[in-house]
Amino acid sequence: MKVIDKKLLFINSSERESGTISDFKVTIPSHLLTCEPNQKMRLVLNDLVLPFTWYNVQSSNRTFTLQEGSVSYAVEIPMGSYNVTQLRDTLQSLMTSLSASQNPSNPHTYTMLFDSISSKFSFSHSSLAEGQPSRLTFAREGSAHKLLGFEVGSVNDFVSQGGGVGRVLSSRPVSMMLTDALHFHTDVLNTNVDKSTGLMSDFHLSDVFAKIAINTSPFNNLIYFNTNDDYLVNISERRITEFRFWFTTGEHAYIDLNDDFSFTLKIEIYEDDERRMVDQNTGIGELLRLMVVQQHALLNRKAGE
């Protein structure tokens, strides 16, 4: 295989033709990225600079269900960047005010504590009545379970502490990180494999182009440099006129980015020397076979004379 041409394609999300920072398309003039019939193209992520400014509470991780007796309602944490103390104060106020408006006949007053040693929340409320269960439920879609220290899909009952007080403790340490890595997607066909779509019950071919580890603190830049062409995609077409790019979290949830970012794609055009040699040798072999057949026929004709 011989690389005969190489182009660097510099892309900034602000130059998008359509879409948002997190999911956009760019259009390429048809004469720029093309190859001859005997050539192929491949795409490599050469570098990426991405500002780490996205919120750690987003639409993908902000909801849970609060039940007070026969009354249930969805709690939605306002999107933003929180530390543990800010999240505690916001939720304590939010849950208390929601209870007053949604359950006026038996409103609950909520108190939240954070144990810095165990890194868990303790939820308490007043007005726990016999036969009137209170619980926190975390569904799979948009769940805030990691933020609050619970398992996805779990149902967590407030346990009576006496005097009408109910309490529930986080089952695992809280995580204020939205994700530990980002998946960079492209609509160019590739052979990478993951569980990112459907029921996420099995591995299959994926549109994930690259996995970018988060190796810096918030409000700094994530920087990736290509070292060994790990993120390489072979192009099946002879011409590229449009790209779509988007990001998801390491758990395959959609992510809203807050700032434009830039990256460089390396487009390599190459010829398959090995294949060409095989084709040439095949042609020579066919020619030799034809010559042998002709010689054999000539000898047979002479023998008949």
From 143, 169, 195, the end of a domain falls on: 169
Does the residue 292 lie in any domain? no
Residues 194 and 134 grouped into a single domain: no
For tokens 């999300």, the residue is: 13
pLDDT at 107: 87
pLDDT at 193: 85
Does the residue 148 lie in any domain? yes
Does the residue 285 lie in any domain? no
Does the residue 300 lie in any domain? no
From 169, 199, 215, the end of a domain falls on: 169
As for how many domains the chain has, the answer is 2
pLDDT at 141: 86
pLDDT at 188: 87
Does the residue 286 lie in any domain? no
Please give the model's pTM, rounded to 2 decimal places: 0.80
pLDDT at 291: 74
pLDDT at 65: 95
Does the residue 301 lie in any domain? no
Residues 107 and 31 grouped into a single domain: no
pLDDT at 274: 60
Residues 165 and 91 grouped into a single domain: yes
Does the residue 280 lie in any domain? no
CATH code of 13's domain: 2.60.120.1100
Residues 116 and 264 grouped into a single domain: no
Residues of the chain with pLDDT under 50: none
Residues 248 and 204 grouped into a single domain: yes
Does the residue 290 lie in any domain? no
Residues 43 and 104 grouped into a single domain: no
Q: Note down the domain range covering 87.
A: 63-169
pLDDT at 273: 61
Residues 182 and 50 grouped into a single domain: yes
Query: CA-to-CA distance for 257 and 54, rounded, in angstroms?
Result: 5
Residues 191 and 225 grouped into a single domain: yes
From 132, 151, 169, the end of a domain falls on: 169
- The phi-psi region of residue 264 (left if phi > 0; otherwise alpha if psi is between -120 and 50; otherwise beta) is beta
